[in-house]
Structure 1
Amino acid sequence: MQPDPSPGRSPSMPRLALASLAGTAIEFYDFFVYGTAAALVLGPLFFPSFSALAGTLAAFGTFGIGFLARPLGSAVFGHIGDRYGRRPVLLGSLLLTGLATVAVGCVPSYASIGPTAPVLLLLLRFLQGLGLGGEWGGAVLLTAEHAPEGRRGLWSSFPQMGPPVGFVLANGTVLVLSAALTEEQFTAWGWRVPFWAAGLLALAGLWLRRSVEETPQFRALAKTGRRSETPLRDVVRGHWRLLLLTGGALASGYAVFYATTTWSLAYATKQLGLDRTVVLGCIMTAVVLKGLLTPLLAVLGDRYGRKPLCLAGCAICAVWMFPFVALLCAADPLLMTLGFLGALLGMVTTFAVVGAYLPELYAPRVRCTGAAVGYNLGGVLGGALTPVVATALADGDGPPWGVALYLSGMALLSLSCFALLPETNPAVAGPGAGRGTRKGAAEAAAPA
């Protein structure tokens, strides 16, 4: 990633980091509150003719549609980001996700409008994923393209703290409502309140981002006329191998995160019979600690390189999944929290540095599209199917060791993909780092 070639006053990095963190937190709040609702209430409300297991699977199926939409959102908003600037992406993606989330809270149940209800749910979940697919690329580039080289990992970790903040907001809201309302009240209307709250959060996010400046590297591209006319085509044709490797590399982190935060919630409440407030409290504790560790691990990435941390994170996930399942099945809050924390430690060791790592793999002219599509392709491979697969594998007596085997296999897949990617931190790999993978590397690294 080249230094800023354009003159002008230096922007406030803390202000930019706050804007990027706030936006990703709000958008991931929207995305996560759906996952929590899918684990707890959407099955009976929108798929009442199904058995309890089939209803949960169907609800998680609509959850997965959001992941399938994310690469499409990356392509659409990535085109905007590479052609017209990173700033429009920040505003448009936040608005789309917020409106779709509020609308989910307004959809009548199957009992009121029949089959139209799950169809509307599916459509709105798709729009949620579309908006979130564009958010990550814009937020990460806002910090990555403004940050000084030696601190790029640190500043680019702020958008990566957005997901845990969004998760805590979403599940904290559900936790309060669960404690304050009866089961009948929560099922009748209480679950809708977090979706309606997304409207206020979206307005707050738009206000925070209203004065965000365009990044220096995009200004340089616009000035020299070297923007890509067809960013997606350029990325797919020139860097398809890089896209597949980054998608596979990130798949494990997604799988582990959603197994921990979404599947575990459903399994613990329905299979183990635990109270949802207890399970949510355990998960939230682990997620908060994950968020606090993110900037610390990002600093290590600035000092020792992106790739070593990514490899270490995948290795932790590979060896921890069987203890994770055993601790979950112990049904003890302290042991469950330990299991969740170990799993998320592996995940965050990788994801703390990808905010800097992925943009550094692509040239500025296709960076918004390439980084975002690669990131969200990992979401499809690891996040979309994991709750469904894990729920199916856990249908039976005894600990769900099949889930542990599945997650460990995903971790080994990601480990192999990261091993084939280059180091991009110039402080570790030297000048010329981050030049893409072998085929198409010269074009990927060519100065814009």
Structure 2
Amino acid sequence: MSSVAAENTEATPRKPHTTVPKSRVILASLIGTTIEFYDFYIYATAAVAVFPALFFTGNDDTAKLLASMATFGAAFVARPIGSVIFGHFGDRIGRKATLVGALLTMGLATFLIGLLPTYHQIGLWAPAMLTILRFCQGLGLGGEWSGAALLATEYADHGKRARAAMWPQLGAPFGFILANGFMLLLTIFMGFNSAEHAGEFDHAFLVWGWRLPFLASLVMVLVGLYVRFKLEETPVFKLAVKEDKKVKTPLAEAFKVAWWPMIQGTFIMLATYVLFYLMTAWILSFGIAKVEAGGLAIPYRTFLIIQLITILFFAAMVPVSGWLADRYGRRSSQLVITGFIVLFGLSFGFFMAPDAVGTGSEANIVRIVIFMAIGMTLMGLTFGSMSAYLPELFPTNVRYTASGISYNVSSILGAALTPYAAVWLNAHGGVGAVGFYLAGAAVLTIVFMAITHETRDVDLNTMARK
């Protein structure tokens, strides 16, 4: 472990040689993550507004929402498994082919969700099949992110890696805009309002309208496959092949030479994940929930518009994050940003407690927008450079596997549990308790960043010893 870290920091960086246009690399890394996050957000939105009504039974709205959030979390359990499976092939046969497989897995699972019968049609088989397909979504995303991050960083010039690596990170806000924009347009054109029509199972939106965004993902997947098939293998992986430095069992080798960096990477991502899914999945459920269930009772459509406006702050800050990380270092910039996340967590009660912000038609929309804008700004600043920070912790021939494991184990700790835990915390301790949850995760992230070396100047061509 220590020898790998030493090699990474002491090696003289070699500039990758490639004839592939940078625009093609940018498009290939961006379009895949955009599609993947589109698929993920479509599910997250439906898990709040559609699935509790169509795939679960009972009269307790909170219990149905918790059950829906549990299926949402199933993907995060699958993601480390996906990172192992796709990481094995990514480190053995290459980044390009593996990314194609990850995109197909995610896209087909999303398409099939759009064809599922509901609980009212086939009973318990409906939530069972929904959970299985959600698990498959997680497998695909488990292999997608690390591959896209490596695609961007391994083509980049030394000293500009964080700015190059920010492109796949933009897939998160872009996918969010596409997914929630699609849902918003559907609710407008189909006249669906969650507060008025939630129990009307014969409403066109609940019968077939919600399926359209899932089915449309197939078209996007075909476009993504076309772009990726035109790409070449990364120059860093080509060098590993040329020097016969590929390992036979990347998973075993990763745990042998990089077990400590994998732990560090997992907790470095923790605050980012908690913030991410509070600002996207949980906040929507809190915003549209009934007052008696601890929510703000804001119409679904209104809250979608708030999210779509404030997600622009997320997108705007992603390139800023890449620039800061190249200018001041990954560790230094992220320590400051995570410190602000701690303070933001402590402000939840002030900004969003129902007594402070109001509910229903009396809700202070400006106050909510300010809160969301701050959260999304911090999200962009912390997320933007992570696709450089995590891969730089690992040597080339286990990088796909090791970075994927770190990223996706963190998804269990920071994302799978977060929407579920936040619903429970809000129900029992109010919105302030949810903020303390975020602040605690951010403090833990700061601790692990403080004991991790700076990675800005590492040589990505460094190999683990076979």
Answer yes or no: is 1:405 the counterpart of 2:436: yes
Counterpart CA distance in 2 for 1:80 and 1:178 is 41
Counterpart CA distance in 1 for 2:128 and 2:329 is 46
Counterpart CA distance in 2 for 1:3 and 1:311 is 25
What's the CA shift string for 1:367-394, capped at 9, x where partnerless? 1111111111111110001110000111
What's the CA shift string for 1:55-81, capped at 9, x where partnerless? 000000000011111111111111111
Any residues of structure 2 matched to 1:275-424 within 5 Å, and which? 275-329=299-353, 330=357, 331-395=363-427, 399-424=430-455
Counterpart CA distance in 2 for 1:5 and 1:296 is 24
Q: What amino acid maps onto 1:419 in structure 2?
A: A
**197-206 or 333-342, which moves further after superposition?**
333-342
- Summarize the Cα distance change of 1:217–1:346 in structure 2 as closer, same or farther, 3 Å threshold: same
Deviation at 1:185, TM superposition (A): 2.1
Deviation at 1:350, TM superposition (A): 2.1
1:439 aligns to what? none
Counterpart CA distance in 2 for 1:346 and 1:419 is 19
**Cα pair 1:95 1:202 within 8 Å, conserved:** yes
Q: Which runs of 5+ in 2 are unaligned?
A: 1-7, 193-202, 290-294, 358-362
Counterpart CA distance in 1 for 2:233 and 2:252 is 24
**Cα pair 1:310 1:351 within 8 Å, conserved:** no
Counterpart CA distance in 2 for 1:203 and 1:410 is 38
3-state SS, counterpart of residue 385 of structure 1: helix
3-state SS, counterpart of residue 346 of structure 2: helix
3-state SS, counterpart of residue 264 of structure 2: helix
Counterpart CA distance in 1 for 2:92 and 2:463 is 18
User: In the comparison of the two structures, how many residue pairs are matched?
Assistant: 433
Moved over 6 A (4+): none
- Summarize the Cα distance change of 1:280–1:328 in structure 2 as closer, same or farther, 3 Å threshold: farther
Deviation at 1:223, TM superposition (A): 1.6
- Summarize the Cα distance change of 1:171–1:287 in structure 2 as closer, same or farther, 3 Å threshold: same
Deviation at 1:234, TM superposition (A): 1.2
TM-score by length of 2: 0.89
Counterpart CA distance in 1 for 2:263 and 2:62 is 33
- Summarize the Cα distance change of 1:282–1:5 in structure 2 as closer, same or farther, 3 Å threshold: closer
Root-mean-square deviation (Å)? 1.9
Q: What amino acid maps onto 1:420 in structure 2?
A: I
Deviation at 1:420, TM superposition (A): 1.3
3-state SS, counterpart of residue 164 of structure 2: helix
Counterpart CA distance in 2 for 1:407 and 1:5 is 39
Deviation at 1:280, TM superposition (A): 1.1
Deviation at 1:5, TM superposition (A): 7.2
2:44 aligns to what? 35
Q: What amino acid maps onto 2:185 in structure 1?
A: V
Counterpart CA distance in 2 for 1:154 and 1:273 is 40
Q: What amino acid maps onto 1:273 in structure 2?
A: A
Answer yes or no: is 1:231 the counterpart of 2:263: no
**Cα pair 1:73 1:130 within 8 Å, conserved:** yes
Counterpart CA distance in 2 for 1:399 and 1:434 is 47
1:77 aligns to what? 86
Deviation at 1:399, TM superposition (A): 4.3
Any residues of structure 2 matched to 1:28-107 within 5 Å, and which? 28-49=37-58, 51-107=60-116
TM-score by length of 1: 0.93
3-state SS, counterpart of residue 117 of structure 2: coil
Answer yes or no: is 1:177 the counterpart of 2:196: no
Deviation at 1:87, TM superposition (A): 0.3
Counterpart CA distance in 1 for 2:333 and 2:381 is 6
Counterpart CA distance in 1 for 2:227 and 2:328 is 33
1:200 aligns to what? 219
1:438 aligns to what? none
Counterpart CA distance in 1 for 2:171 and 2:254 is 27
Q: Which runs of 5+ in 1 are unaligned?
A: 427-432, 436-443
Counterpart CA distance in 2 for 1:383 and 1:267 is 16
Q: What amino acid maps onto 1:323 in structure 2?
A: S
Deviation at 1:323, TM superposition (A): 2.3
What's the CA shift string for 1:215-260, capped at 9, x where partnerless? 0111111122110111111112332222122111211111111111
